[in-house]
Structure 1
Amino acid sequence: MEIQSVGAAFIRPGQVLTDRAALSAAARWTQAVSEADGICVIHLSPGVDPCEITADLREQGLRASPNHVLRGQPLFFGGPASRPFPTPAIGFKPGKSRSNVVVGLLDTGVAKHPWWSSGDWYGRLGPEEADASEGAQAGHGTFIAGLLARRAPGVALSVHRVLDGDGIGDEAAVVRALHRLRERPPQVLNLSFGCNTFDDRPPPLLADAIGALSDTVTVACAGNTGSDRPFWPAALPSTVGVAALDASQERRAPYSGYGTWVDACARGDWLASSFLDGGDFAGYAAWSGTSFATALVAGAIADAARDEPAKEAAERLLGSEGTRQIPDLGVLFPASL
């Protein structure tokens, strides 16, 4: 699908997200409407600006947003860690540990791997949840799944593919996936992707969908923007926004987003995890990005949620006296892989 750049944000041209309440107000600009899983995508008439229509609908008190493009956040630019690198096999054995905690993983999917090939949750996945085999971010979801498996041994993953092999998805697909999660909400939700918005305001339908998972702790990456510009959904008050530290775990990784809207931070540089098996890779890789710092924080919360509700576990880990706070980066979650 096409992508349009607007105000340092990316959107699907000619598309506006709404609920049913806004359809009549937008009728004169509408060419077609597609509705699924609780949201409507208005396909605008040629030449109509989705940002202008969004502003008009919001002035009327209606819920609307351009269909923002969301991207996974591994590191791609500059430095030696700007892509995944093959690494030797990691000496991790899943063992027989079992947890009742379920972690939702919306990403590129998850590929077969020895760490979970015999797991019940993996056996329930269909072909539509398999990780992409081609593209710049193929293996992104598999890499995150491995970080979660090591940080929170025994958890089950609820996998939903919302990004393609290049790590590209859009707000409509993510909101629909979140809507489907309401049937069996996970205790923790990992969102290692995001976007800037055309007006730097929170996208209302995405915020509504996350807010509807009231008992779920949603953890999202602060983005590889190197700026304090709000990155969504990490900047939502209902979400734990995660920045990346360098390998010393003392300083912000230069690429990481930061700001008062960030809640936590963890190492994001040169992490090693599960990966695709093929080409130069034999099932393992080293990679960097706020995507992966997010998985460490989500995993820590999921591990703590074995013994208490996930919301209480998150509040304790984020608010304990004596935990180290880093300005504009939030609470430090030390890497323990």
Structure 2
Amino acid sequence: MFDQEVRLERLLARHRDAAVVEPFTGRPALIRRDQILVADHDAPAAEDLVRRWYDSRQAEPGVTRLRLRSPARVDVCELAAQLGGDGRHRRLSVSPNHLVHGQPLWWSGPADLPRPAAPLPAPAGAAAGDARRPVTVAVLDTGLSPHPWYEGTEWYAEQRDEVTEVVDADLDFELDAQAGHGTFVAGVLLRHAPAARLRARRVIGGDGVGDEVDVIRALAWLAAWGRADIVNLSLGCHTFDDRPSPVLSRAVAALGRRTVVVACAGNAASDRPFWPAALKPVIAVAALGADRTDRAWFSNYGWWVDACAPGVGVTSTYLRFDGTRPRVNGIDPDAFEGYATWSGTSFAAPAVAGRIAGLAASAGLTAVEAADRVLDPATAPTLPDLGVIIRP
């Protein structure tokens, strides 16, 4: 386990407009300074109320980002709470711009690093003709790198240039902390649903960090596109008040009831709600440990978790990369040949999303019908605070 304070310092050094906030002791969150997010229909009212601190606005489908003047030193968490209204009922849909993280990230450092693995055989039955109906899974993540499992497919050719992962953004000849995260998630999905078409969107960087606004923007694009059966979100965050961001909640709701959203439960070893997984319409997935009988030590848990799947020592598709680290006992720790072993709730979530996609395709079901079958506690074992157990 990496030293958490050191990892946090590095994150803040790389994202200089980020800040740690802790309105409640022991329950920190990460936000962008001087930014608040507002749902479209509430933007004019919110803009009028913050005019004395106002700097600029950026309006996009699904969200408006208001930037405040830095010298004003506005507490954006307190401001969001005031604009939203006291008590349980919110008047305006307003939120700070929280940072989101891919989830091998354990608060401020990886629960695990990827390790080179031997090649895996490509999933059988990958031809679309093997399915009774086409199923599309949207992957909002770091993007996708070329891989033999899918680089010859039509769906990858349509989008490869726009979603290619940035694996060494700081040009230090080493992989960024979560480089290959999206490619790894894609492999887990395809192992369970070989005929699925993936639609990737890059919302976090190779360091595993992104903005809530980027996730909302991607969800709004998916809602307008209207062809995603399932959305996989192997990322998330804690919020400053442990309540769901109303802006992100609206973006998820805008996908409609025919789209199934699956998200990782997070790696803080806590029952503190992790968003968007803890949203009511979202299937929250925790990680099982190596023995696949109980919770992985790092996995979140709680009343809001719907399912659990293997999340320790998962093997999947990865990058081709040979770094600068020396051999240890004859083994090169950063020479990857397209496959890796990794741990985290990030990789439990696509196992569940893939199981749903695979059943929908093979049985000709809607994604919602398939999800109901996969998560039916009458036909599958369950664990307290972990939900339905999904095993390979």
Indicate whether the TM-score tops 0.5. yes
**CA shift in 2, pair 1:176/1:75, >3 Å:** closer
- Which residue in the other structure is 2:269 paired with? 226
- What pairs with 1:179-198 in structure 2 (closer than 5 Å)? 179-185=220-226, 186-198=228-240
1:277–1:283 Cα contact (<8 Å) kept: yes
Report the 3-state secondary structure (helix = DSSP H, G, I; strand = E; otherwise coil) of the residue aligned with 1:319.
Answer: coil
- Which residue in the other structure is 1:30 paired with? 54
Structure 2 CA distance for aligned equivalents of residues 93 and 250 of structure 1: 25
The alpha-carbon deviation at position 278 of structure 1 amounts to 1.2
- Which residue in the other structure is 1:39 paired with? 63
Report the 3-state secondary structure (helix = DSSP H, G, I; strand = E; otherwise coil) of the residue aligned with 1:213.
Answer: coil
RMSD across aligned C-alpha pairs, in angstroms?
Answer: 1.8
Give the TM-score normalised by the residue count of structure 2: 0.82
The more displaced of 138-147 and 35-44 is 35-44
1:94–1:115 Cα contact (<8 Å) kept: no
Tell me which amino acid in the other structure corresponds to 2:102: G
- Which residue in the other structure is 1:139 paired with? 180
2:317–2:340 Cα contact (<8 Å) kept: yes
The alpha-carbon deviation at position 190 of structure 1 amounts to 0.3
Per-residue CA deviation, residues 121-149 of structure 1 (Å, 9 max, x unaligned), is: 10011423012222110000000000111
Structure 1 CA distance for aligned equivalents of residues 106 and 93 of structure 2: 34
- Which residue in the other structure is 1:90 paired with? 120
The alpha-carbon deviation at position 95 of structure 1 amounts to 4.6
Report the 3-state secondary structure (helix = DSSP H, G, I; strand = E; otherwise coil) of the residue aligned with 2:262.
Answer: strand
Matched, 1:271 2:314: yes
- Which residue in the other structure is 2:304 paired with? 261
Matched, 1:67 2:107: no
Tell me which amino acid in the other structure corresponds to 1:312: E
The more displaced of 318-327 and 268-277 is 318-327
Matched, 1:323 2:368: no
- Which residue in the other structure is 1:18 paired with? 38
Structure 1 CA distance for aligned equivalents of residues 82 and 182 of structure 2: 37
Report the 3-state secondary structure (helix = DSSP H, G, I; strand = E; otherwise coil) of the residue aligned with 1:65.
Answer: strand
Per-residue CA deviation, residues 256-311 of structure 1 (Å, 9 max, x unaligned), is: 00000000000000010000001100000000000000010000011111221111
Structure 2 CA distance for aligned equivalents of residues 151 and 96 of structure 1: 10
Give the TM-score normalised by the residue count of structure 1: 0.95
Tell me which amino acid in the other structure corresponds to 1:127: D
Structure 2 CA distance for aligned equivalents of residues 156 and 314 of structure 1: 18
Report the 3-state secondary structure (helix = DSSP H, G, I; strand = E; otherwise coil) of the residue aligned with 2:49.
Answer: coil
Per-residue CA deviation, residues 44-77 of structure 1 (Å, 9 max, x unaligned), is: 1221111111011101711100000000001569
Higher helix share: 2
Tell me which amino acid in the other structure corresponds to 1:30: Y
Q: 1:154 aligns with which of 195, 216, 221?
A: 195
Structure 2 CA distance for aligned equivalents of residues 81 and 66 of structure 1: 26
Q: Which runs of 5+ in 1 are unaligned?
A: none
Structure 2 CA distance for aligned equivalents of residues 94 and 123 of structure 1: 21
Report the 3-state secondary structure (helix = DSSP H, G, I; strand = E; otherwise coil) of the residue aligned with 1:260.
Answer: coil
2:292–2:310 Cα contact (<8 Å) kept: yes
- Which residue in the other structure is 1:303 paired with? 358
- Which residue in the other structure is 2:18 paired with? 3
- Which residue in the other structure is 2:284 paired with? 241
**CA shift in 2, pair 1:36/1:240, >3 Å:** same
2:319–2:338 Cα contact (<8 Å) kept: yes
Structure 2 CA distance for aligned equivalents of residues 261 and 111 of structure 1: 33
- Which residue in the other structure is 1:122 paired with? 156
Max radius of gyration: which structure? 2
